[in-house]
Amino acid sequence: MPRPAHRSPAAPRTSAIALAALLVCAAIAPSADPLRADARGTADDVAATTTPAVAATATPAVPARIAALRDNFEARVTRHVLDNGWTFLLIEREGAPVFSFATFVDVGSAQEVPGITGLAHMFEHMAFKGTPNIGTTDYAAEAETLEAVEAAYLAWQAADMAPRPDAARVAALEAAFRARQAEAAAFVVPNEFGELVEREGGVGLNAATSADQTFYFYSLPANKIELFAYLESERFLRPVFREFYKERDVVQEERRMAVGSRPTGRLLEQLRSAAYVAHPYGQPVVGHMSDLRRFTATDAKRFYETHYVPGNMTTAIAGAIDPATLIPMLETYFGRMPAGPKPPPLRTIEPPQTAETIIRLEAPVQPTYTEFYHRPSGAHPDAVVLAAIDDVLSNGRTGRFYRTLTVAQKQVAFTSVFPSFPGDKYPSLFGIIAVPNPGVTLETVRDGIHAELARLRDEPVSDDELARFKSRATATVLRSMQSDLGIAFRLAQAEMRHGDWRQSFDRLAAVHAVTAEDIQRVARATFRAENRTVGKVVPRAAETPDDRASTNAPSQGDAR
Amino acid sequence: MIRTLRALLTTTTAIALAAGLMTSTLHAQVETADQLVYPPLPAFTLPTPDTTVLDNGMTVMVQPDRALPLARVILIVRAGARWETDADRGVAGLAGQVMRTGGTADLSSAELDVLLDGKAARLEVGIGLNEGVVSFESLAEDFTALLPVLADVVRRPAFAPDALEVARQQTAAGIVRRSDAPSSVRSRVFRKLVFGADSAFGRELSLEQLQAISRDDLVDWHARWIQPERIILGVSGDVDAAEALRAVRAAFGDWPRGPAFEMPDFSWRETPRPGLFFIEHEDIDQAYIRIGHLGLRIDHPDYYATEVLNQLFGAGLSSRLFSVVRSQKGLAYSVYGSISANWDHPGVASLSIGTKPESTAEAIRALHDEVARLRTEPPSAEEIALAKSAILNSFVFSNDSPSDVLSQQMTFRYHGAPADTLARYRAGVEAVTAADIARAVAHFRPDEFSQLVVGPPEVDLDTLTAFAPDGAIVRLDADGAVIEPASPSETPAAADAAASSVP
């Protein structure tokens, strides 16, 4: 289709966007994290993802422009909570007869324990497999075979994991499982859920799981609003775990791609596991391979029943909608979901780090340098100060890393900051990633970064830098409100995380209260050696970086 | 004009709301999706942008959108790396970078960055393979003040030597890293196999060529290629149409036309390069596979049929490839395929998959099987109807915002396509028949597939010989150079003999 795509050319921080793909696992294809990519994609969006909360004590005014925008939204947002606890935000927008929605579920890989890592993401995949009414030729018969599949699988696994497995019996049980699996497959109408969305003109159907949350989204023509209500209530009301073990194979391939085939993927998996000794942020979102080979549909069902309760779910719908007629429809469809207790909060708190940790990964690739520091969660008053530090260090071509390391010293090709890795619901990590120029050692890169961090500790930032941070943060909020889907994301996330969609705007009050002293104080508290986990990708070949650069030089006539 | 647009928006919203009312008269919920009854979608069209051609030949299109206090400019210029010759290889891309970072006649690099960042504005320049794009965004209140700065970057870049060195270093970092990721190796080498390693679409910049580029090269390139008559500039956002046009005229109107010159040729290879090519890549857990050959141009009579075929075959959640190869066989997370089309040169007809090393052969076989099945089990009337309705029902999204309409109209104009190209597309898709689909299927020619596997040493090559002509697998390095030529006659140079070119 002749759809033009005049996107902005790459800004210096595009490598951050590429790496951001490591943070979430998507159902269909790993498109960039929509929370980051939505505002056309480059520098400011990454910082904006942090969504820090407003400090309870300091409440200076929101900039007038944003206050006006919030008032404008005040008039067009309807918040409606069903009796079962499911929260809806309805945002009326003028324009084309279309709408987008995003459903946020307050569960991520941080809710997993050893043995079931990857299960939050696995359930997200299962939410595309249909219901008793979608995806089957005969549900009554299929349901019996699915029970048989699960019984056969559990029997096989029990035999296989016995202290002294009987090989012949294990093989027979596996064969029995495969046979049941084939019987069940005969009832499947493959991907009927997606087909229903696509047939009616739905676009952008996908979902993603991160450490903090799971979210589902797409856009439809406005006359298909009831299809949305039907499908999106149905998929969470009575999901059918058909093709579970085939889809588990698909997820294993996803892991092989996202982690197993990228040195930065392997590095960050090792790094987070080293940085977190207690908290589940140390676990990979996609899960460990041994768990992906063993967890069961029974495990997934239990996980779903615990976490997919209406009180844990927030849906924002933005576009050509009418709350007066939509709300009864939401009551009818989504009201079917029984209320359930909210799962208990996570108990574990990561203890303070007491020793610097260094991860060194050898790989047949060019070198990369990273370092990550523990920092408070997005709800902490200092989160907004860390957003300011991110901006001063790395935003645009006035950021200190670009000006000093790239332009003045010419040692680093690209630098990115991950202000809150791997999430921001719990205390997380402030990460720096640097790509050295050919021939520059990782020690030189490290020293350059450390000099910049020392400057932040030792000297107050300039008034100009502080002013740039504040005006860019304001513009970022404006830019994030350009599309139905962008608005749905921002408001749903703010509502789920902070209990009020207005935080999308009001957090700017805290942004504008940040002082140079705040930045110095937080930099001193954060950028300490014993609070640091370093990750290096080191070329495996024995040559020096200079040699590698020249030996790797491809030339025009290479393929001849 | 703006009042008209606002009135239109309000009216259509009212219609949409009325549609919503009709829907909600169904109080009872439906049990199955086929019980749903949809009201008609209200008609919705946005006006096309006002278009003005300045005396110097520059085209200006303006499309106001008052939803947020932001202003945007997109500028497309007919310049790109595909027109580079041996004498100026790599200059276009570097010139684009340094236009942005090297300051202007009035502002140093640092002053320019401080000015733009201080106003939270964005300005980027990218000269790509097929075209150059300058994009700009600011708060609406800064638009008039910053437009002359944008014009200076385009018209009077200073190309500061230090900025050239920074850009050279960054480009070098990219060159030495371009084989690090298997996905990057796969797409680079596949382009070389399909278009030719020396073609405009396959060739790559070497470090030696990069080092040889001088500031004078950038200055000369800019003087030759960046000219008003080669430019289409679009303004959208919270601007008054007449004021925006006045501002553009003030910033660009006194720019004289450039000297006429003959556009260099760009070329690609038409002859297919069938075979099974293997590139060993250590330390990866998957084999990255792509098979295919050249695709079509958009003006091909079968273009609309290939769009419908793509939908049912390899795009989306309900396509054959996704359902069979991923959902039923569990062979891959990422699997897709299509016959793609470009405006003025062929696209690529290809299928791609990533799978664990031990299922490499099974995955290639699965892709071939699905191509074959398009002939043995041709798409049913139901599949074709589903694919067409997916495209047609989602059509409302293809021009649902003023900035979408603007960038579409800019693209159509750039390629000399009529302003009603989208309407033609819709009519073209609606008219596709089963016979058209059969013709579209014939654009997959499996005998001509270049089959590229980028995989770890664990891939058992013996399992792949069945896919290689005469059982001979051709091993390539990460840049596509042959390591063990299967037979001396089968070199890319020989295959390059028959070439196409257009000016």
Band (A29; pLDDT cuts 50, 70, 90):
low
- The answer to whether B334 contacts A96, with C-beta atoms less than 8 Å apart, is no
**Across-strand partners of B293?**
B349
The β-bridge relationship of strands B50-53 and B59-64 is: antiparallel
Q: Which residue has the tokens 């014993």?
A: A530
* DSSP secondary structure, B441-472, as one string: HTT--GGG-EEEEEE-TTS-GGGGGGGSGGG-
Q: What is the DSSP letter of A319?
A: E
Half-sphere exposure of A26 (CA within 13 A, CB side): 16
Q: Which residues of A touch B11 (CB under 8 A)?
A: none
Q: Identify the closest residue of chain B to A364 by CA–CA distance.
A: B282
- Say whether residue B66 is in contact with chain A using an 8 A CB cutoff: no
**Residue A555 pLDDT class (50, 70, 90 cuts):** very low
Residue pLDDT, tens place only, A223-270: 999 999 999 999 999 999 999 999 999 999 999 999 999 999 999 999
DSSP β-bridge partners for residue B50: B62
Tell me the average pLDDT across A19-37.
Answer: 53
Question: Tell me, what's the pLDDT at B261?
Answer: 87
What single letter denotes the amino acid at residue B57? Answer: G
Q: What's the pLDDT at B48? A: 87
For residue range B424-439, what is the model confidence (pLDDT) as tens digits?
A: 999 999 999 999 999 9
Residue A161 contacts B where some CB pair is shorter than 8 Å: no
Biggest distance spanned by C-alpha atoms of chain A? 75
Residue A23 has pLDDT above 50, yes or no: yes
Q: What is the pLDDT of residue B487?
A: 53
- Whose structure tokens read 């929509």? A34
Residues A68-89 pLDDT 10s: 899 999 999 999 999 999 999 9
Distance (Å, rounded) from C-alpha A527 to C-alpha A522? 8
Distance CA B298, CA B295 (A): 10
| Residue A45 confidence (pLDDT) | 27
Question: Nearest by CB to B172, which of A194, A202, A438?
Answer: A438
Q: Which residues contact A24 (CB under 8 A, 6 or more apart)?
A: A30, A33, A208, A209, A210, A285
A478 vs A69: CA distance, rounded Å: 8
Chain B residues close to A1, C-beta within 8 Å? 307, 391, 398, 425
φ and ψ of A416, to 5 deg: -135, 150
B393-447 tens-digit pLDDT: 999 998 889 999 999 999 999 999 999 999 999 999 999 999 999 999 999 999 9
Interface of A with B in 31-90 (CB under 8 A): 40, 42-43, 65, 69
User: Secondary structure of B9-26 in the HEC alphabet?
Assistant: HHHHHHHHHHHHHHHHCC
CB contact under 8 Å between B44 and A364, yes or no, is: no
The answer to whether the CB of B320 falls within 8 A of the CB of B274 is: no
Alpha-carbon distance B82 to A166, whole Å?
Answer: 64
Order the strands of the B59-64 sheet from edge to edge: B50-53, B59-64, B231-237, B70-77, B132-139, B122-127
Average pLDDT over chain B reads 91
Q: Are strands B70-77 and B231-237 parallel, antiparallel or unpaired?
A: antiparallel
Name the residue among B30, B120, B391 with its Cβ closest to that of A475. Answer: B120
Residue A367 has pLDDT above 70, yes or no: yes
Amino acid at the residue A315: T
Query: ∠A144-A145-A151 over CA atoms, to 5°?
Result: 95
Mean pLDDT across A515-535: 98
Our CA-based measurement puts residue A203 at a distance from the nearest CA of chain B, in whole angstroms, of 7
CB B292 within 8 A of CB B347: no
Residue A322 to chain B, least CA–CA distance (Å): 6
DSSP state of A404: I
Question: How far is it, in rounded angstroms, from Cα A113 to Cα B311?
Answer: 40
Phi, psi of A431 (to 5 degrees): -115, 145
**Among B294, B282, B444, B278, CA closest to B361:** B278
Show Cβ contacts of residue A396 under 8 Å, excluding neighbours closer than 6 positions: A11, A12, A43, A402, A472, B113, B116, B117, B122
Greatest Cα pair distance, chain B, in angstroms, is 74
**Strands laid side by side in the A532-539 sheet:** A357-363, A532-539, A368-375, A428-436, A412-421
SS3 B345: coil
Picking from B91, B73, B95, B75, the residue whose alpha carbon sits closest to that of residue B83 is B91
Contact B400 A479 (CB under 8 A): no
Size of interface A-B (CB pairs under 8 A): 382
Whose CA is closest to A352, among A382, A376, A371? Answer: A376
DSSP symbols for B51-78: EEE-TTS-EEEEEE-TTSSEEEEEEEES
Cβ-based neighbour number of residue A463 at 10 Å: 9
Where b means 16+ CB within 10 Å and e means fewer, A489-508 reads bbbbbbbbbbeebbbbbbbb
The Cα–Cα gap between A395 and A383 comes to: 17
Residues 6+ apart with CB under 8 A from B431: B304
* Mean pLDDT of the residues in chain A: 88
Q: Give the residue among B423, B444, B60, B20 at the shortest CA–CA distance from B229.
A: B60
Q: Which residues of chain B have pLDDT under 70?
A: 1-27, 484-503
pTM, whole model, 2 decimals? 0.90
Q: Does B64 touch chain A (CB under 8 A)?
A: no
Predicted pLDDT at B87 = 87
Provide the CA A498 distance to its chain's centre, in angstroms: 17
CB-CB contact of A445 with A479 (8 Å)? no
Six-digit token pair at A237? 């009301």
Q: Are B491 and B316 in contact (CB under 8 A)?
A: no
Decide if pLDDT at A16 tops 70: no
* Measured torsion, CA atoms of residues B422, B424, B426, B432, in degrees rounded to the nearest 10: -150
**In chain A, pLDDT over 70 holds for what percent of residues?**
86
Structure tokens at B457: 């040493």
